[in-house]
Amino acid sequence: MNERIRVPQVRLIGADGEQLGVVPTFEALQIARERGLDLVEVAPTAAPPVCRLLDYGRFKYEQEKKDREARKNQKIVLMKEVRLRPKTDSHDLDTKAKAIERFIEEGDRVKVTLRFRGREMAHPGLGRQLLEELAERVKDIASYERMPAMEGNTMTMVLTKAKPATGTTREGGPPTTPEAPNPVGREPAPRVAAPMQASSGPPRQP
């Protein structure tokens, strides 16, 4: 920027984007001073390098302002954790389910961790059953991102927000597809009876 630009000439762009052509660098600096602006190198690898006249302090302020707005509007998805034990009772499971629903409604993902100790390691099926029961309780709002799986002495699953169902069903069956209507103004084709085949044998005597 400004005196730090060491090349002999630059392609100069004005503050409003107008092309000022290729000029010696000292002349570009002189134009920048006369207009109360900075000479900023925007494409150093071009031949010759491209420089632009602008108020660098104001430009930097506007850029930082845009970055702050972008960060403010950005939704950060967090991974919350809910912990269980193989002996978690039904009442505590209800409490865990409510916590998961709250996290999912806030837009977060939930990692459910069930830790085994000692002899509990011999019954991983009971842990899987407990995780599946918990997932069943929150199925209206959450769905599996990762199914229950063992990791050392823990079994984990990850839940995320459930996608809305598409299509309509008929008494729990698959989505129904409407029948295509007949073309407008066209009568349905009449049914034609199959022709009777003549008997090849001699006529019967009365």
pLDDT, position 14: 87
The residue whose two tokens read 């004005």 is 14
Give the pLDDT of residue 163: 82
Is 70 exceeded by the pLDDT of residue 26? yes
Q: Is the separation of the CB atoms in 145 and 153 below 8 Å?
A: no
* Average pLDDT over the chain, rounded to an integer: 80
Predicted structure pTM score: 0.45
The pair of structure tokens assigned to 177 is: 């597809």
Residue-level length of the chain:
206
pLDDT in tens, 153-202: 899 999 999 887 655 444 444 444 445 444 444 455 555 455 545 444 55
Domains and CATH numbers, the chain: 2-72 (3.10.20.80), 79-161 (3.30.110.10)
User: Which helix (H) or strand (E) segment is 97 a member of?
Assistant: helix 90-105
Q: How far is CA 163 from CA 13, 139, 154, in A?
A: 50, 11, 28
C-beta separation of 154 from 128 below 8 A? no
- In angstroms, the Cα distances linking 45 to 25, 51, 143, 166 are 16, 11, 50, 52
Reported as a pLDDT band with limits 50, 70 and 90, residue 67 is confident
| Residue 173 pLDDT | 46
Can you read off the two tokens belonging to residue 135?
Answer: 């997932």
Q: Are residues 109 and 80 in contact, defined by beta-carbon separation less than 8 angstroms?
A: yes
**What is the rounded average pLDDT of the residues 117-127?**
86
Q: Which two three-digit tokens encode residue 108?
A: 């977060």
